[in-house]
Amino acid sequence: MATSSSRLLPEPTPETAPFWEGCRRHELRIQRCNDCDRFYFYPRPYCPHCLSDDTEWMTVSGEGILRTYVINHRPMPGFAGEAPYVTAIVELAEGPRLMTNLVNVEPVPANLPVGLAVTVVFDDVTDTVTLPRFQPKDRR
């Protein structure tokens, strides 16, 4: 996607900074619980599965599947000139789901079967912000 100066960019907080710092290094990092061995997202200082605070940041595969999506026709504020674009929920191989964009694919439903294998691609939208987007794994 094109970079838009008016895009609503993330403003990392202390709890989320490791995620965004990972993206800057082109690594997808999420948290894992050392007590129950499960991954989770979004960032929190405790595990939502077992409430343990023994958690750590891990770099994950960046592989996942498409769970659902919209093809946004009406550009949202900050996205003028980019419609139609695909906002998607991707389920990572490690379990958690996150909101993202599907890119490098023509935005028509035939190209977007739910369950589609996808892989992360990093988009350096500014000098300090990199966004994780996903593209079909078997890109033709």
Q: What is the rounded distance in angstroms from the CA atom of residue 97 to the CA atom of residue 65?
A: 9
Q: Which pair of structure tokens corresponds to residue 7?
A: 């895009």
* Residue from 22, 55, 101, 136 binding another protein (CB under 8 A): 101
Q: Select 7 or 32, whichever has its Cβ closest to another protein.
A: 7
31 Cβ contact partners less than 8 Å away, ≥ 6 residues apart: 39, 40, 41, 43, 44, 47, 55, 56, 57, 58
Number of alpha carbons in the 13 Å side-chain half-sphere of residue 108: 2
SS3 94: coil
Q: Which stretch binds another protein (CB under 8 A): 31-39, 51-59, 125-133?
A: 125-133
Report in angstroms how near the CB of residue 69 gets to another protein at its nearest. Answer: 6
Check binding of 140 to another protein (CB under 8 A): no
| Per CB under 8 A, 67 contacts another protein | yes
Instruction: With contacts defined by CB under 8 A, name the span among 25-33, 53-61, 74-82 that binds another protein.
Output: 74-82
Output the smallest distance, CB 82 to another protein, in A: 7
Least distance to another protein, CB of residue 93, Å: 16
DSSP secondary structure string for all residues of 53-83: --EEEEE---EEEEEEEEEE-SPPTT-TTT-
In the complex, the residues that contact another protein under the rule CB under 8 A are 6-13, 16, 42, 67-79, 82, 84-85, 87-89, 97-101, 109, 114, 125, 129, 131, 133
